[in-house]
Amino acid sequence: MHDDRQLVEGRLERAMRQFVRPAQYARRTPLTLSVWHAPGEPVPVAEALKGEYMPFETGTVWGKPWSTSWFRLEGTVPEEWAGLHVEAVVDPGFTGQGPGFQAEGLLYDASGVPLKGIHPRNRHLTVAERAAGGEPVRLLLETAANPAVLRDFAPSPLGDVLTAGDRPIYRFRAADLAVLDETVWHLVLDVEVLSELMHELDADRGRRHDILRALERMLDALDLHDVSGTAAAARAELAGVLARPAHASAHRISAAGHAHIDSAWLWPLRETVRKASRTFANVTALARDYPELVFACSQAQQYAWVKEHQPHIWERIKKAVADGNWAPVGSMWVESDANMPGGEALARQLVHGKRFFRDELGVETEEVWLPDSFGYTAAFPQLAKLAGAKWFLTQKLSWNQTNKMPHHTFWWEGIDGTRVFTHFPPVDTYNAQFHARELAHAERNFAEKGGASRSLVPFGWGDGGGGPTREMLEKARRLRSLEGSPTVEIEKPSAFFEAAHQEYGERAPVWSGELYLEMHRATYTTQAKTKQGNRRSEHALREAELWCTTAALRDPSYAYPYDALDRIWKTVLLHQFHDILPGSSIAWVHREARETYAAVLAELDGLTAEAVRRLGGGEPSALNASPYPRDEVVAHEGRLARVRVDGLGSGPLAEADAHTRGPGAHAAATREADEKIVLANEYLTVAVDADGLLASVRDLEHGGREVLAPGARGNLLQLHPDHPTQYDAWDLDAHYRHTRTDLTGAESVELVEEGPLRVAVRVTRSFGASRIVQEYRLAAGSRRLDIVTDIDWQESEKVLKAAFPLDVHAERSTSEIQFGHVHRPTHANTGWDAARYEICAHRWLRVAEEAYGVALLNDSTYGHDVTRTQHGDSAGFLGTTVRLTLLRAPHSPDPETDLGTHRFTYALLPGATTGDAVAEGLALNLPLRIASSPALTPVVTVDDPAVTVESVKLAEDRSGDVVVRLYESRGGRAEATLTAGFPVAGADETDLLERPLRPAVTSDSGLALALRPFQILTLRLRPV
């Protein structure tokens, strides 16, 4: 037979484009339009119903960026359409951009009840399944003039309402009543399913040619000038090839409806409230027509928004959950970043998420659902299990630039040894559309062939929302069992996980440690003030909960601020969303985030101050929210004082006489002949040279060992050009390292504090349009050299690093993560090692030899890099260079990212053990609070320093029980006793949601604790 495939395929393409698809809506009549342009921010529908509407014509421009317009759509179904399927079809000016990245709308009935969202791939609202003719149609359309911000990653003023301008950006194209020819519509879907499948089959497959000839016969049966009249005959020609079932060995796909909705990204938070409402209205409307639909939806925050703002839609969601069409998933408040949230914050993501789904919808979610976060901490498996989750899902690792993950279904093992059953959908998208290309890719790509036979496909428009469409559901019906294709079963994700676990769980491979994304490494640094706001809010919440608990235990009249703390926690958790905390949202989002964090910190400071006030007055004291004892120099009323304070307790300020702590307990400074300034205390001698760099750091506790590598200088600021191939805010591409400028020149190097309690050198330098002032501070009794940094950052597309070349032969670095730490190689032997050229650490990063380590601490930085560096003569001395990534200046999606003033502190800790790094990292991030306070016995104490108390609070059920969360922080076993500072009637070990698991082991001295490496333990103590 002659090969005429291309001719037949070309004939099919033109017929569908020019004749068949247009025939789906062959009859139309326009609706009458009027408009009210809402002033300012969006308004509720009740206010819109009172608006003054003016006549409006299709073809007219509307919508300045970020504005809202309300349109009334009015008309009558023609009498001659009686018995036909009539729809309102609306196009307010959709562009070629996908759903969620342009104009969007929500249709209401005339009384203001929300009906259904519209977007470029879902423009219709069914007016009548079988019209009577003559029915009046009155609708209200809320339209959002959301601009498309991300175009080729070019700088754009559209990312903030303050800079976006007033020029209308859309032209209203059409609002019609139209007859949907259902036979033609089904013909289109038949052809799409078969044609897409045909193109995925090899040319030597008989099935491909069977489909081709069936499509050719369909074309022969179709009169292109009477598509409606011949569509049924055309469909009949395809019935045979559509009826042939899949092979028994076909890959099995479990499909779940989905709509990834970024809680903020290229739109502000307030717009996500409406995106969720539009999408959820779509889904609940779709479920009425397709009872097999299951919609998997995460992010409790978005449910809460809809409950508050759209009660009609909320009631429909509850019904859909009860009917089995809706599956709450994810177990988290938002789909957060999974690298940078602190340990307690990540626990609270699960606590607040699971509690919402349980209390509001009666659902105990079983999975962590994070398809789009930028890498995943190795603390997650344990947290998931402690929250009652059994499964974990993501597909983001398919974005890896260097290495392909070897598994799609496997056990993920965390740092403590906990394992969670994990799936990466091999379809490599969470926005699938049931295109044959996607399903074929899922089957070909599936790594577990021979061991497992099923995978999950989340389908529906996403990122900006939208969700599944009726066309997708129709395709799923045709693909349920179709020769040449994987089978498709729409079902809950839990059903997939149960079946996958039963099939493969015993034999599934294990991946141990973090799931590092080999991409988007700049998200550890971009938008420094957002990250700083998060870090400080996390620690302020820790402090507020501790002192409020202390006040509640000591003052029966004190009212613990449950509601305020709950609200603040949810605000902080929201801002950990994976495009807010990583810094990859528009300017508007980060401007509001800075304002929100300022308000959060002010409110928490007030809550803490009130709690401390209720503890009673006393002499000026230092309150320590860290679980470790502190011996520090603090500033109070314009003077310095030395204070020694127990963990979670308080201590009086000492006189401003350094020698009250004994001989040698002082700090001093001297000027050397070579212009160096030497700072010294009983632990360190630090030399600052004329360039303001660290020329020497000697550790006196370790025989005067030099910390810096031979011939190298520390705290060397290095500036690199920063031009990612794409994804400006997200990526720090490896080529940035090819060029750098060392900032060695200093305008001034001044000794500004001369002891005896603290010595300090201030260094001022300028570069480009920027200016930086740093103070090296060394306090009496401290083993830590603090570097307090103020910078006016005015660079463009640069990245600033602070380098510490250390005389430490380290084969690996150790970085703090949530509830523990991870080790990463300092070499680049393999592609996996080389790809980790930028890494995330929380409060500290440590490098060490067998008997000596050095830690670098920070109060708001996450990005680091660690390399092996040779120093000295040709034989070389192998050292380790640790660098903090301080600031970036990308132009997209925020063209002024990080420009302005910043203040932060990082610190060098020579001779640091892991335990030292843990304690000093907490100290740097939890400054002592000076207040008039009596001596406070700690609420709890633990007698093994390896056991770190993470949080102390009152139980969420408002019973008055005290909840203590702690963990083993050094990577070893710990036997400890916890002693309460109040009478205890009983105690339980609980899950993260404070539900009892088993009675705690008690003795006369307290609670006996036996912890495995990195084990997290939550205790619930019942006061007498």
Q: Which residues are identified as catalytic?
A: 372
CB count, 10 Å around CB of 369? 26
SS3 category, 940: strand
Collapse the DSSP code of 40 into the 3-class scheme (helix H, G, I; strand E, B; otherwise coil) and give the result: coil
Q: C-alpha angle with apex 777: 772 to 782, nearest 5 degrees?
A: 150
Beta bridge partners of 975: 1010
Rounded CA-CA distance 604/537 in Å is: 8
582 dihedral zone (left: phi>0; alpha: psi -120 to 50; beta)? alpha
Q: How far is CA 165 from CA 107, 160, 939, in A?
A: 27, 9, 55
Assign residue 472 a region (left: φ > 0; alpha: ψ between -120 and 50; beta: otherwise).
Answer: alpha
- Kindly compute the dihedral angle of the four CA atoms of residues 558, 564, 565, 571, in this order, to the nearest 10 degrees: -170
What is the edge-to-edge ordering of all strands in the sheet holding 114-118? 54-56, 32-38, 68-76, 136-144, 104-109, 114-118
How far is it, in rounded angstroms, from Cα 426 to Cα 438? 9
Q: Residue 28 pairs with which residues in a beta bridge?
A: 178
Q: How many residues make up the chain in this entry? A: 1024
Tokens 């010595």 label which residue? 759
In sign, the C-alpha dihedral spanning 92, 93, 98, 102 is negative
Tell me, what amino acid is at 473? Answer: L
* Cα gap 611→953, rounded to integer Å: 13
Beta bridge pairs of residue 108 = 114, 140
Cα(817)–Cα(844) distance, integer angstroms: 9
Residues 6+ apart with CB under 8 A from 613: none
Q: CA–CA separation, 474 vs 324, rounded Å? A: 19
CA-based nearest residue to 505, from 377, 379, 382, 391 = 391
Q: Which residues, other chains included, contact 764 with Cβ-Cβ below 8 Å and sequence gap of 6+?
A: 692, 746, 747, 748, 750, 771, 772, 773
Pairwise CA distance, residues 860 & 843, whole Å: 8
Q: Say which residue the tokens 């892991």 belong to.
A: 914
Question: How far from the centroid of its chain's Cα atoms is residue 549's Cα?
Answer: 30
Whether the CB-CB separation of 848 and 814 falls below 8 Å is answered with yes
- Which tokens is 441 given? 């890719």
Alpha carbon distances (Å) from 582 to 524, 526, 534, 725, 961: 6, 7, 11, 18, 36
**Cα(12)–Cα(646) distance, rounded to whole angstroms?**
79
CB 266 within 8 A of CB 99: no
CB burial string 600-614: b at 16+ within 10 A, e below: bbebbeebbeebbeb
Dump the DSSP string for 751-764.
Answer: EEEE-SSEEEEEEE
Tokens linked to 4: 């005429």
Q: Are strands 984-990 and 996-999 parallel, antiparallel or unpaired?
A: antiparallel
